[in-house]
Amino acid sequence: MDENQVQPTFSMPRIGEPAPEFKAVTTQGDINFPSDYKGNWVILFSHPADFTPVCTSEFMTFATMEKQFNEANCKLVGLSVDGIYSHIAWLRTIKEKIEYKGMKDVEVTFPLIEDITMEVATKYGMMMPGESNTKAVRAVFFIDPKGIIRTIIYYPLSLGRNFEELYRALIALQTADEFGIATPADWQPGDDVIVPTAGSCGTAKERMESKDEMHCYDWFFCTKKLTKATILDKIIKK
């Protein structure tokens, strides 16, 4: 290869930036992203190809959990570089023929984007030449109600995603926003949460001497209780 030949670059948006805008054809009609989803959280995720086993297991799982995500004010939007007719045929096959882990007759009702030009996949840095030049890796973008990217997770082609973790991350993000806290390692709703670090020596001293609801391991590491019921009452739609 000519060492002077220009190689294609694949940019990737960053956490805290506005989600790149695009218009697309999907299995649920045309969308204008992310403006059509203003006021909702969105999980935009890519998969390598239709009619592949790992992707099939993932779509069945996401479709089965869609109601759970919707109740947390989160919409799901899928993407691959296949065409719309391939998408439709694949989703029909899933509903009519595939039974997996007790899931059967699964209907995928969230939109699946056609991206045969790879325009959207390129905008979001979903193409990884080291993995494939023609398939998007398993990217996951959490986008908040203001259209800002809040979390990004990437998986290689061979690794199926953990959907319980995706749901946990969504609830953790919403909890942090709602209550002004952070979540520790392996946090689940109902576990203690982390109070923002003290901003002054006086506050740090007060925290260490306090007998209130906070528990301080040291001046910079304090937690408090936040019940699962309190969290879900704020986040989950009745």
Which pLDDT tens digit goes with each residue over 27-70? Answer: 999 999 999 999 999 999 999 999 999 999 999 999 999 999 99
Structural contact between residues 136 and 121, judged by C-beta atoms closer than 8 angstroms = yes
Mean pLDDT, the chain, integer: 89
For a pLDDT cut of 70, what percent of the chain falls above it? 86
- The pLDDT confidence band at residue 197, using thresholds 50, 70 and 90, is confident
CB 231 within 8 A of CB 175: yes
Window from 100-104, 117-121, 136-140, 191-195 with minimum mean pLDDT: 136-140
Enzyme catalytic residues: 55
Confidence of residue 12 (pLDDT cuts 50, 70, 90): confident
Cα(163)–Cα(173) distance, integer angstroms: 15
Mean pLDDT of 186-202: 84
Please check the confidence at residue 175 and state whether its pLDDT lies above 80.
yes
User: Quick one: pLDDT at residue 202?
Assistant: 60
CA 145 – CA 198 distance, rounded (Å): 29
Q: Per-residue confidence at 7, pLDDT binned at 50, 70, 90?
A: very low
DSSP label at residue 194: E
Per the CB < 8 A criterion, the answer to whether 59 and 108 are in contact is: yes
- Mean pLDDT, residues 95-113: 97
pLDDT band for 104, please (50, 70, 90 cuts).
Answer: very high
How many residues are there in the chain?
238
Sheet holding 193-195, edge to edge: 193-195, 221-224, 215-218
- Residue 14 annotated in ligand binding: no
Rounded distance, CA 167 to CA 165, Å?
5
Which residues face 74 on adjacent strands? 41
pLDDT digits (tens, 9 = 90+) for 198-231: 656 666 566 666 666 788 888 889 999 999 999 9
**What's the farthest any 2 CA atoms get from each other in the chain?**
69
Q: What is the pLDDT of residue 187?
A: 98
Q: Which residues of 6-36 are buried (b: 16+ CB within 10 A; e: fewer)?
A: eeeebeebeeeeebbebebbbbeeebebbee
Q: Please report the pLDDT score of residue 201 as a whole number.
A: 60
Report pLDDT for 198.
Answer: 65
**What is the pLDDT at residue 205?**
63
pLDDT at residue 212, as a whole number: 66
> Out of 31-35, 135-139, 187-191, which region has the weakest mean confidence (pLDDT)?
135-139
- 81: pLDDT strictly greater than 90: no
Domains of the chain from N-terminus onward:
22-161 (3.40.30.10), 180-235 (3.30.1020.10)
Dihedral of CA 212/216/218/223: which sign?
A: negative
